[in-house]
Amino acid sequence: MDDTQQGEAVRIDDPRDFPPREDGYQRLWTPQRMSYVLRGNKDGDAKKPHGSECPFCAGPKKSDEDGLIAWRGTYVFAIMNLYPYNCGHLMICPYRHVSLLTDLTDDELFEFEKASALAMDVMREVSHPDGWNLGINQGDVAGAGVATHLHQHIVPRWNGDSNFMPIVAQTRTMPILLHEQREAYAEGFATLAPSHGLPAQAPATGNDTKDRN
């Protein structure tokens, strides 16, 4: 094979030398991102929230409207996501500032999961989704935006809710304002919580005592 060009050797790889694409994924090699990955290890502040206080500790201290709180239980609360993945994106958080599911007490764990199921029912009542994404990212490396305070994402999904906007314009379309969605959810939580064995709304002042740091 003549692999010279203007006197310099040009390397030509034979595709048969590569392993087959058995998992169906294509690989996009991005060595430039290694500097970001390494910076994350070296600089622990990289993924910490802006401002001094944890947003999930700060939220319940505000009014429901200002803190975007949709429901307050005994051990956990429901809060709207300020940067929603999809319209109506809600999170369930413990009042206590703990990072891992394994840090929860049995009572907290029980209400955490009960409240997640309740949230699905509330969404079903309020906005009739076709499905949900539920998930917990544990640790910076797993994608947790606020890794130090546990939160379960509950994202309603509708058939056809993803369009071209996120792909070509880095923009998500949100057909309802956050505070209107919160209001609708709050009503739904208050109505449906008792049928899940959960309080309709715990007194706002009572939550301070749950902060057992």
Instruction: Pick out the residues of the known binding site for substrate.
Output: 81, 143-146, 153
Site for Zn ion in 64-83 (CB under 5 A): none
Residue 56 within binding range of Zn ion, rule CB under 5 A:
yes
Which CB atom, from 5 or from 102, has the smaller least distance to Zn ion?
102
Instruction: Give the distance between the most distant pair of CA atoms in the chain.
Output: 81
Among 40, 48, 54, 144, binds Zn ion (CB under 5 A): 54
Residue 57 within binding range of Zn ion, rule CB under 5 A:
yes
Among 47, 48, 61, 97, binds Zn ion (CB under 5 A): 97
Inter-residue contact 173 to 102 (CB < 8 Å): no
Residue 149 within binding range of Zn ion, rule CB under 5 A:
yes
For every residue of 145-171, DSSP letters joined together read: TTTTS--EEEEEE-TT---SHHHHSS-
- Which residues are within 8 A (CB) of 148 and not within 5 positions of it... i.e. 6 or more apart? 48, 54, 97, 99
The backbone torsions φ and ψ at residue 85, rounded to the nearest 5 degrees and listed phi first, read -70, -30
Find the shortest distance in angstroms from Cβ 94 to Zn ion: 9
Say which of 89, 149, 151, 196 is annotated catalytic: 151
Binding site for Zn ion (CB under 5 A): 54, 56-57, 97, 149
